[in-house]
Structure 1
Amino acid sequence: MLDRYWFGDANRISPEAPVPVVRITREEERLGGAANVALNISALGARAKLLSVVGRDEAGLIVERLLKEKGIEPHLHADPALKTTVKLRIVARQQQMLRADFENRPTTAILADHLSEYEKLIDDCEVVVLSDYGKGGLDHIARMIDCARKKNIPVLIDPKGSNYDRYRGATVITPNRAELAQVVGAWETEEELTEKAHALRKKLDLTALLLTRSEEGMTLYTDAGEKTIPAQALEVYDVSGAGDTVIAVMATMMAMGQSLEEAMRIANRAGGIVVGKLGTATVSFDELFPEGYEDLFAGESL
């Protein structure tokens, strides 16, 4: 996705309708969606490859240019029948006034090529992140998980929708509270939540389920039980893209040999930092470890 921001001032109400008039003074383009996940991985100093589908249009070319500028290896399939997903946000006085989405779904032929290239690319990868935004790019996700599993490559998934059966066999899925409730139903108590989360994890043959809980922090569910850590946000300014940062940091830490629990702890810290920034943003190693991180990663290298 391409995230477009139009910044301006809103000092009057339109005479045509009861809406503010925003005088645009600045424009900004950022990587969004799965590209933002790749950007967060790259911002930590790790090597990232992005396999995705874009349209044969201006927005698709901008996505490719931004990826290269950020040191991310692009593997983009251009579908002439597709419009590159664009999210346009109009912001005035640090407040989002409007978001307009431009999107449609890729064709079957392009997705077949997409899957074929995926099977070749993962041989050089230590971890796979599948960011599901429900836009059609992961219609073959079951085969993608199976391919990685046969090669003993961990698969982390940011899920979407109510059909989690398609994620069967993944290593970790990272739903938020609303996404999990959509699948397992609402819960009244922490005990009920724990029971539902473990039941889903076992049903889908997952190593872990990481529940992101906003102001309540995160909970990791594994065979060893469950572990909850509180949120670390000092100030919540913008939550957009926070899930991208969490799964990106989680995946990078796992690739560096950290345990699931330690990876969650660091990802939680990253999420607390990124919600204090405007729009889709990243976290650097220096922000994550202001007092140094050499001891934590002794013997490891990115």
Structure 2
Amino acid sequence: MSSFPAETIARSRVLVVGDVMLDRYWFGEVERISPEAPVPVVRVARREDRLGGAANVARNVAALGGYVTLIGVLGEDEAGASVRKLAREAGIEGELIVDPTLHTTLKMRVLGRQQQLLRVDFEQHPETAALDSIDAAFARHLPNHDVVVLSDYAKGVLTRVEPLLAQARAAGIPVLVDPKGDDYSRYRGATLVTPNRSEMQQAVGRWSSESELTGRAQQLRAELDLEALLVTRSEQGMTLFTDAGRDHIDAQAHEVFDVSGAGDTVLATLAVTRAVGLPWAEAMAWANKAGGIAVGKLGTSVVTAAELAGETA
């Protein structure tokens, strides 16, 4: 595999649309059990906010050197303000629509000695007016980008995903989708869909052999009129299905510290490498390397072009 094309990627333009979240971490020490209930008492020493969901995909695109525009919905609240600030600092061009009827999607994690003890989620689906604004923003930004990424976390922003796909297809712009749920018919006409192992099982059922997986994957790809289907399989690596057949790559041998956000890193790497014309197999190889680096970091994190360039090809 050739060296990471950082200079070319600097000219790539990626449009990310999806469920924007704030990942909030409270780090502390556990020294006793509460007298009120049999739960640990965490003495919080440090707090940190990070971009999550579709915003983490955009953050990874920017870290890899690509130009990125992010379309999503926020509430008119403190968490939304934090997302805006973090997006600016990350170099993300944001079209972040405010829906005053909802709270910004927030995942709050409490950690003691680097181990997650509790996660608390706050989420609501956007109203019709906000979805109308998403449609308008997408139509406005689409012509100025090389690749579209749809990051679906089932929080409602991609409720109208079908017309977005139709617009992109009519414009000849490839669309990469990180799917959710078991009804993949809504993603028909995308260029690539990237389910993880459990999501693929939801969509096509469990498989007992590689040949059975290949058969089901190629059937799903044909039904959805996809150019490619990439199944990310954790410690088993990644498997790509195209008209040319099946292409598999083993996972990188990194110590796994935290898998949260690794799928966002994989998707972002696929987006920038495809935006500059790399073949699917080579794009998958770089995405696999990036995912391997990401799981060695705590929480939602980014992988930079320098880190990928430093990986042995």
Question: Aligned partners of 2:83 and 2:42: how far apart in 1?
Answer: 26
Matches within 5 A, 1:5-154: 5-154=25-174
Question: Aligned partners of 1:110 and 1:34: how far apart in 2?
Answer: 16
- Gap change, CA 1:290 and 1:149, over 3 Å in 2: same
Q: Is the 8 A contact 2:60 2:265 kept in 1?
A: yes
SS of the aligned residue for 1:28 comes to: strand
Superposition deviation, residue 183 in structure 1: 1.0
Query: Which residue identity is paired with 2:310?
Result: P
SS of the aligned residue for 1:239 comes to: coil
Q: Is the 8 A contact 1:235 1:276 kept in 2?
A: yes
- Report what 1:296 is aligned to: none
SS of the aligned residue for 2:310 comes to: coil
State the 4+ residue runs in structure 1 displaced beyond 4 angstroms: none
Is 1:286 the counterpart of 2:303? The answer is no
Q: Is the 8 A contact 1:233 1:271 kept in 2?
A: no
Question: Aligned partners of 2:265 and 2:311: how far apart in 1?
Answer: 21
Superposition deviation, residue 116 in structure 1: 1.2
SS of the aligned residue for 1:5 comes to: strand
- Report what 1:242 is aligned to: 262
Give the TM-score of the pair, scaled to structure 2.
Answer: 0.92
- Gap change, CA 1:20 and 1:49, over 3 Å in 2: same
Superposition deviation, residue 256 in structure 1: 1.2
SS of the aligned residue for 1:115 comes to: helix
Question: Aligned partners of 1:70 and 1:229: how far apart in 2?
Answer: 31
Give the TM-score of the pair, scaled to structure 1.
Answer: 0.96
SS of the aligned residue for 1:192 comes to: helix
- Report what 1:298 is aligned to: none
Question: Aligned partners of 1:162 and 1:82: how far apart in 2?
Answer: 26
Question: Aligned partners of 1:223 and 1:173: how far apart in 2?
Answer: 14
- Gap change, CA 1:23 and 1:148, over 3 Å in 2: same
- Report what 1:299 is aligned to: none
- Report what 2:209 is aligned to: 189
- Report what 2:240 is aligned to: 220
Query: Which residue identity is paired with 1:283?
Result: V
Bigger RCO (CA 8 Å, 6+ sep): 2
- Report what 2:18 is aligned to: none
Is 1:268 the counterpart of 2:288? The answer is yes
Deviations 1:144-176 (A, max 9, x none): 011001111110000000110000000000001
Question: Aligned partners of 1:287 and 1:136: how far apart in 2?
Answer: 34
SS of the aligned residue for 2:281 comes to: helix
- Gap change, CA 1:20 and 1:201, over 3 Å in 2: same
Q: Is the 8 A contact 1:270 1:288 kept in 2?
A: yes
Q: Is the 8 A contact 1:11 1:22 kept in 2?
A: yes
Q: Is the 8 A contact 2:289 2:311 kept in 1?
A: no
Identical pairs, percent: 57
Superposition deviation, residue 58 in structure 1: 1.1
Question: Aligned partners of 1:162 and 1:291: how far apart in 2?
Answer: 35
Superposition deviation, residue 26 in structure 1: 0.5
Deviations 1:113-167 (A, max 9, x none): 1111101101100000000000000011000011001111110000000110000
Question: Aligned partners of 2:307 and 2:91: how far apart in 1?
Answer: 20
Structure 2 runs not aligned, ≥5 long? 1-20
Superposition deviation, residue 110 in structure 1: 1.1
Question: Aligned partners of 1:115 and 1:140: how far apart in 2?
Answer: 8
Superposition deviation, residue 91 in structure 1: 0.6
- Report what 1:166 is aligned to: 186
Question: Aligned partners of 2:141 and 2:253: how far apart in 1?
Answer: 36
Is 1:210 the counterpart of 2:252? The answer is no
Question: Aligned partners of 2:143 and 2:292: how far apart in 1?
Answer: 33
- Gap change, CA 1:88 and 1:105, over 3 Å in 2: same
Question: Aligned partners of 1:262 and 1:251: how far apart in 2?
Answer: 12
SS of the aligned residue for 1:48 comes to: strand
Deviations 1:187-241 (A, max 9, x none): 1111111100000000000000000000000000001000000000410000000
Question: Aligned partners of 1:141 and 1:291: how far apart in 2?
Answer: 36
Structure 1 runs not aligned, ≥5 long? 294-302
Superposition deviation, residue 291 in structure 1: 6.7
Question: Aligned partners of 2:57 and 2:253: how far apart in 1?
Answer: 20
